[in-house]
Amino acid sequence: MERPPRRAKADAGRWLALACIIVLLAPVVVDARLEPQDLRLPRPFKSGDDISKALGRQQHERMVSVFTGLASREVAHGSLGEMAVPASLDDIADRKPDYFQDEARPAFSETLMRQSSGARIVREDYEVILTPEQLASLDEHYERLEFPSDVVAFIGNDPEDRVYLHTDAQRRRVYVVPASAAERWGR
């Protein structure tokens, strides 16, 4: 029996639409073979429950603020009470800023240091650059722990509630120094 013309037209329309959908979805099927990095998207990697591994690949200059805070937590054996910093954060060490849409963002960020350490940030006037003798003394009395972004923590047997941020003569490394050590230098 011949199909009514209207039904035949509707079927033709359905098949045409289906053909168009297949054409539209074909590139999507091809895209399924791509990896995220092929489209410049973040690529998954293995970090597990290790924050240093998770963050270690980040290239931002401001990572120094994050790792300074995390290093402080190691010195505190947990969360920190106070982090003493110089009056100008740029005095901590020489680091380039990050640029976001042509706007410079300083490497040392009080917000990032506060959040990553859980501490109050306190501005103080003190000598930031450590002498070789002071560094040797720290190595003798404390355990040195290295972090990415050239951050070093000096960790004692007892938790510390306060730390000072220092650098060396080259003004590259950031040293997180327990207050108990700094007090021996007359602070």
87 phi and psi, to 5 degrees?
Answer: -55, -40
Q: Pick the binder of another protein from 4, 5, 28, 96 (CB under 8 A).
A: 28
The three-class DSSP label of residue 175 is strand
Could you count the other beta carbons within 10 Å of the beta carbon of residue 155?
18
Q: Does 55 bind another protein (CB under 8 A)?
A: yes
Q: Does 103 bind another protein (CB under 8 A)?
A: no
Cα separation, 37 vs 40, in Å, equals 5
Stretch that binds another protein, among 82-90, 106-114, 128-136, 149-157 (CB under 8 A): 106-114
Q: Does 1 bind another protein (CB under 8 A)?
A: no
The answer to whether the CB of 82 falls within 8 A of the CB of 162 is: yes
Cα separation, 68 vs 77, in Å, equals 14
Count interface residues toward another protein (CB under 8 A).
Answer: 50
Binding site for another protein (CB under 8 A): 10, 13-14, 16-18, 20-21, 24-25, 27-32, 34-36, 38-51, 53-55, 57-58, 60, 62, 66, 69, 79, 101, 111-112, 114-116, 118
